[in-house]
Structure 1
Amino acid sequence: MRKIAIIAWVIYSILHTTGCNSVEAQSNAAEQNPAPAQTMGWQYPNGARNAISITFDDARESQVDVGVPILDKYNVKATFYVMPEPVQGRLTQWQTVAGNGHEIGNHTASHLCTGNFQWLRAMNKGLEQVDLQWLRDDITKTNNYIENNLGVTPRSFAYPCGNTFVGRGLEVQSYVPLIADMFTTGRTWLDETANDANYTDFAQLTGIRIDGMTYEQIKATLDALRFSKSWIILAGHEVGQKGMYTIDSQALESLIIYLKDPANGYWLDTVDNVANYLKQHRDAPK
């Protein structure tokens, strides 16, 4: 009995000392195993601490009317994930966007997401109802349109609504491998962390929402995501006055000014350019 009591006391002491809370355990581990110093291994251009990309989805009119002039004013190149129909409605402007060096990515022709969205239920559509071949055809159609009308070959893809599957139940399939086969990168949406440059899967890059946020809120988000060599991909939709799916134009301009200041330690470039740089410099993830 004495031996059992001693063992129980030892176990209690260990748990009490180390803590059972997973967050506490991660914090302790981080303190004991700090991230490698930025001076070790490869470096971002100009000694930047982090990489960052600004991206927009859907080829919305406010992007060419409001967003692009702000970007061009500061010579900042963004990544635009577009669809054929809205591009066709403003074709001349989108040709100018592509010609000015902004990256044009693929966002499908259908913008198909989970059918749980009521706007898709009204059309009796949803990713649950299609297969990988259907999706490949839709994406190929979009690639062909972009090549024929904007004169560029898309190398980047953004998953509509951040959904990465087709089918339902036991027949569900990921279409991440399809994107990995067709593109250099694929970006998701509404994520909670930045990309670890030495680890991230280029077919599943995280996207951080900037819609509806003030400049101060965006900056606070960036500050929280600046772990060692992280690559932060910002994702938005409309540009103009603040709204649920809109970044305020003043917030965008303030953000760009902040990111362009070398003292703040960011390398700002398109998704494809950052991805290519990482592929050339990082070791293969284990």
Structure 2
Amino acid sequence: MSRQIYSLLAIAAVTLTLTPAPALADSPANQQAAKTAPAPVDCEQLKCIALTFDDGPGKYAGTLLDTLKKYDAKATFFLEGQYVKSRPAYVKRMAKEGHELGNHSYKHLNFTTIEPGAIRSEIQKTQDAVKKAAGVEPKLLRPPYGMADLQVSDIAAEFGMPIVLWTGGSRDWSTKNADAIKKQTLAVAKRDGIILMHDWVKQTVDVMPSLVKTLQSRGYTLVKVSDIVKKENLAAGDVFPLPEGWEN
């Protein structure tokens, strides 16, 4: 969908990792990487769901990563640059263990209320922090609070990034109750769903082993956002998913 349809759109609360250019085939390192690279996920065949974690890396991220590794689950982390700077080891581990890294601003400012230069600075500083910590740059943008308008869309396009929101939220930031978080997440879980969560909420991290096991028992494969949105063919600056009432 073209981003032109989002003129003056303000999306309230309710990294599609672009395929890199192929490496030189004759490189020994690339040949070894090709042998060890995991098979691509096909969400046309699998019942996929993407758990996404905003505002991190939080101080409980290490425990969360342990759980995801134990159950062979992937996730997408929409990171704040200020916490990337203070907790770079978590970011490096996220990338190393095959998770997706997205950009969630540097200090969680509302992009619809600040000047274009400030938006660009928030995005660029986070890109630089993630690159320094993990050696990769995010390919997806999730604006703070899920707030975007045409200006935000245009600036996202300048950085070559689509804007990815969510299909359902865990409300973990509000309830901070493990049972409630699990119940709410299962209530909004659906095939190709993108679920909003936060790794700074201790109860979210605490309930994750039980939640992951339950989702897997219901047939879900926990994947990265890029696996889910691959078929959408998002262009830089596009917003997905569209909130109700904004579809063509």
Name the aligned partner's letter for residue 230 of structure 2: N
Of the candidates 230, 233, 246, which is equivalent to residue 195 of structure 2?
A: 233
Q: Structure 1 residue 255 and structure 2 residue 239: aligned?
A: no
Q: Structure 1 residue 272 and structure 2 residue 222: aligned?
A: no
Q: Report the Cα offset of residue 208 of structure 1.
A: 1.5
Q: 2-side partners of 1:155 and 1:186: how far apart?
A: 9
Name the aligned partner's letter for residue 169 of structure 2: I
* Residue 19 (structure 2) aligns with: none
Contact kept in structure 2, 1:146 and 1:153, CA below 8 Å: yes
Paired residues for 1:125-204 under 5 Å: 127-128=112-113, 130-165=114-149, 174-188=151-165
Moved >6 Å (runs of 4+): none
Q: Structure 1 residue 65 and structure 2 residue 66: aligned?
A: no
* Residue 238 (structure 2) aligns with: none
TM normalised by structure 2 equals 0.65
Q: Percent identity?
A: 26
SS of the equivalent of 2:91 reads helix
Q: Report the Cα offset of residue 154 of structure 1.
A: 0.5
SS of the equivalent of 1:77 reads coil
Q: 1-side partners of 2:70 and 2:58: how far apart?
A: 18
Q: Structure 1 residue 105 and structure 2 residue 67: aligned?
A: no
Name the aligned partner's letter for residue 141 of structure 2: F
Cα RMSD of the aligned pairs, angstroms, is: 2.9
Contact kept in structure 2, 1:53 and 1:232, CA below 8 Å: yes
Name the aligned partner's letter for residue 208 of structure 1: G
Cα 1:217–1:106 change in 2 (3 A) is: closer
Q: Report the Cα offset of residue 108 of structure 1.
A: 1.3
Q: Structure 1 residue 209 and structure 2 residue 170: aligned?
A: yes
Contact kept in structure 2, 1:184 and 1:272, CA below 8 Å: no
Name the aligned partner's letter for residue 267 of structure 1: T
Provide, for residues 237-262 of structure 1, a one-character-per-residue CA deviation record: whole Å limited to 9, x for no partner: 4242x3xxxx251x21111112223x
Cα 1:95–1:159 change in 2 (3 A) is: same
Cα 1:76–1:109 change in 2 (3 A) is: same
Q: Structure 1 residue 84 and structure 2 residue 81: aligned?
A: yes
Cα 1:101–1:248 change in 2 (3 A) is: closer
Q: Structure 1 residue 75 and structure 2 residue 36: aligned?
A: no
Highest relative contact order (Cα 8 Å, sep 6+), 1 or 2?
A: 2
Cα 1:186–1:207 change in 2 (3 A) is: farther
* Residue 96 (structure 1) aligns with: 93
Q: What are the ranges of 5 or more consecutive residues in structure 1 without an aligned counterpart? A: 1-42, 115-126, 166-172, 189-204
Cα 1:111–1:277 change in 2 (3 A) is: same
Q: What are the ranges of 5 or more consecutive residues in structure 2 without an aligned counterpart? A: 1-41, 235-246
Give the greater-gyration-radius structure (CA): 1
